[in-house]
Structure 1
Amino acid sequence: MAQITLRGMAPEIEQKIRRISRETGKSLNRVILEMIYNYTGFNKREQISPAASLRKLAGGWSDKDAMQFFESIKSCHQIDESMWR
């Protein structure tokens, strides 16, 4: 991945970027990248989570699907004592 060095940034802008970084818990690099992606219109590409490709390959469940699954296997968590004698 390419690197870019920024020179001549106004101190006020640097301070604002650092404040955003602290407040959001994101790295300076991430904050600046998000600004660039948002400005250039590529922000949708960056919003895809790293796990998205695996989820697409393996499939994913919605919260509703997961709840239905766990509800359907509840009986498997019960022990029938008569079967273990």
Structure 2
Amino acid sequence: MNQLTIRGFDDELATYIRDLARRDGISLNRAVMRLIRRGASLDQAGTDVVGSSLDHLMGTWSTEDADRIDRALEHFSRIDEAMWK
């Protein structure tokens, strides 16, 4: 595996890398590699329009959890006809 030292990160980029690593639960090195690959168009993840911040929740809800969440969100599916007149 090759190594490369990169110097001169400005504060904005360093903060972005730290936030990416924290958000996705990955190392700083992996976050930098992800950004480099994306910038070089070597990673299809760069085309992710919706985002991946909720990926860690995929498949983790039980049936009971899903039912409880559906019930909690049910009122959002109702349309107030008076608002559209």
Structure of higher CA gyration radius = 1
Quick check: which one's helix share is greater? 1
Q: TM-score, normalised by structure 1?
A: 0.47
Q: TM-score, normalised by structure 2?
A: 0.47
